[in-house]
Chains A and B, each alone.
Chain A
Amino acid sequence: MIPAAFDYVRPSSVAEAVSALGAAGEDGKVLAGGQSLIPVLRLRMAYPSVLVDVGRIPELQGVRDDGDAIVIGAMTTHHAVMHDELVRQHAPLIAQATATVADPQVRHRGTFGGALSHADPAGDLGAVALALGAEFVASGPGGERRIAAADFFVDYLTTALSPDEILTAIRVPKLGAGWSSHYEKFNRVAQAWSIVGVAALVRRDGGTIAEARIGLTNMGPTPLRAFAVEQALAGAEASAESIAAAAAHTAEGTSAPSDLSGNADYREHLARVLTARAVRTAAGA
């Protein structure tokens, strides 16, 4: 299939991009890596009048160290993210989860910021960003602002970005000592989207889990935190039994969809099983 016709602009700075997006109005659309957008255009499920290609803006590329956080440029490709030394050192959960996204060719083109802005709840990175407490840096006509991960994902395919804003970077706090992590993904075939995914961050203190943060993929219209599990894990013994007991709370507060990949009750069950596994692996229990 062939996309419907559109105009194309390729700004060379964030400022130009913001102004191009403003000029495009309602039917403008940001083109990042295009790995989700182009199939949608080909199937003619969307008819943007203008694509604003932000793929070549130098300031959106790459990962840099910013003291207590690393800053991932929104247009850094998945491939670059998963091989980046800063990411691997300070946010290995991102590297691990990114390696499960789609396939190598898609990871060569698809971008960290593009995937997060697309906000597909079946995408793996939202839950990871939530669990890590990332901050989203957006630029618009009014300048730059930071949005907490918890506020970024608003609804199915909907973020807190306004139509004339673009996501420029994601600030990820460096994990302190004692933290470990694991992303547990479950899908039907290798290249399929997650039925459910669980991002687990755990800080151990000897034989107990001092603190945990759990992000859930595809358990609602947005990525979710499993707060009840986190609460139950805090101070719990780092054993399979107590982890399983905590994971039994995973489905609380979720609203899992029923679709071709799975019905809601199955997703709830899977989320409990996968949470237990993710936490066990992260905690080395």
Chain B
Amino acid sequence: MTKISMTVDEVSYSDEIEPRTLLVHYLREQLGKVGTVVGCDTSNCGACTVELDGQSVKSCTVLAVQADGGTVTTIEGLAVAGALDPMQQAFHDNHALQCGYCTPGMIMAARDLLQNNPHPSEHEIREGIEGNLCRCTGYQNIVRAVQQAAGMTSGASS
């Protein structure tokens, strides 16, 4: 067992864990942060994406011990006092989710994209979220949502 500490969604935690514990399993099983989900074994789907020390990472491909001392933001930490993050709002406005399973990771990846490139082209948006698979939407409304969040369009619908 190894002792780790980290701040997750602005709460400090300290735990003894097995070194093999994946960050996503630590979040889900020990911290109850079940908003972040697991979709694959091979870091392809991106459903588990969280922000670690300011950058998007796939939390199923990071050991919890590697995040020791770090600061993690999950989907659950975005809406502050009931106000949605602009990316969350944009996903809602543009019907950028159907089943919603990929959504936490997609939103975290999209936020990171805009952090690195505040005014991406459609092509850059598509490449920027290439690490996240969605099986429901065909991505078109996700692209629209990212465009809205980037301030490039208003809501696509009434």
Tell me the residues in window 29-56 of chain A with beta carbons closer than 8 Å to chain B beta carbons. 31, 34-35, 38-39, 41-43, 51, 53, 55
Shortest C-beta distance, A38 to chain B (Å), equals: 5
Partner of A105 from B20, B56, B65 at Cβ < 8 Å: B56
CA distance A79 to B43 in the complex (A): 17
| A39 and B42 contact, Cβ closer than 8 Å, known pairs A34-B62, A105-B109, A109-B61 | yes
One of B72-80, B84-92, B95-103, B124-132 at the interface: B124-132
Is B19 in contact with chain A by the CB < 8 A criterion? yes
Q: Which residue of B lies closest to A102 (CB)?
A: B131
Query: Which residues of chain A are near B20, meaning CB under 8 Å?
Result: 2-6, 41
CB-based contact A43/B42 at 8 Å: yes
Query: Which residues of chain A are near B132, meaning CB under 8 Å?
Result: 103
Is A259 in contact with chain B by the CB < 8 A criterion? no
Interface size class of A (residues with CB under 8 A): 20 to 34
Is A104 in contact with chain B by the CB < 8 A criterion? yes
Q: Which residue of B lies closest to A39 (CB)?
A: B42
CB-based contact A2/B25 at 8 Å: yes
Kindly count the residue-residue contacts between A and B in the assembled complex, taking CB atoms under 8 Å apart. Answer: 88
Query: Which residues of chain A are near B58, meaning CB under 8 Å?
Result: 105-106, 109
Is B18 in contact with chain A by the CB < 8 A criterion? yes
Q: Please, what's the 1-or-0 string for A91-108, where 1 marks a CB less than 8 Å from any CB in chain B? A: 000000000001111101
CA distance A79 to B112 in the complex (A): 12
Query: Which residues of chain B are near A79, meaning CB under 8 Å?
Result: 55
Tell me the residues in window 26-72 of chain B with beta carbons closer than 8 Å to chain A beta carbons. 41-44, 46, 49, 52, 55-58, 60-63, 65-66
CB-based contact A109/B18 at 8 Å: no
Partner of A106 from B19, B25, B61 at Cβ < 8 Å: B61
CB-based contact A53/B66 at 8 Å: yes
Shortest C-beta distance, B42 to chain A (Å), equals: 5
CB-based contact A191/B131 at 8 Å: yes
CA distance A104 to B115 in the complex (A): 12
CB-based contact A8/B43 at 8 Å: no
CB-based contact A39/B46 at 8 Å: no
Is B134 in contact with chain A by the CB < 8 A criterion? no
| A190 and B18 contact, Cβ closer than 8 Å, known pairs A34-B61, A34-B62, A106-B58 | no
| A191 and B63 contact, Cβ closer than 8 Å, known pairs A2-B25, A51-B19, A106-B58 | no
Tell me the residues in window 174-209 of chain A with beta carbons closer than 8 Å to chain B beta carbons. 190-191
Interface residues of A (CB under 8 A from B): 1-8, 10, 31, 34-35, 38-39, 41-43, 51, 53, 55, 79, 102-106, 108-109, 190-191
Which 5 interchain pairs have the tightest Cβ spacing?
A: A103-B131, A8-B19, A190-B130, A108-B55, A3-B20
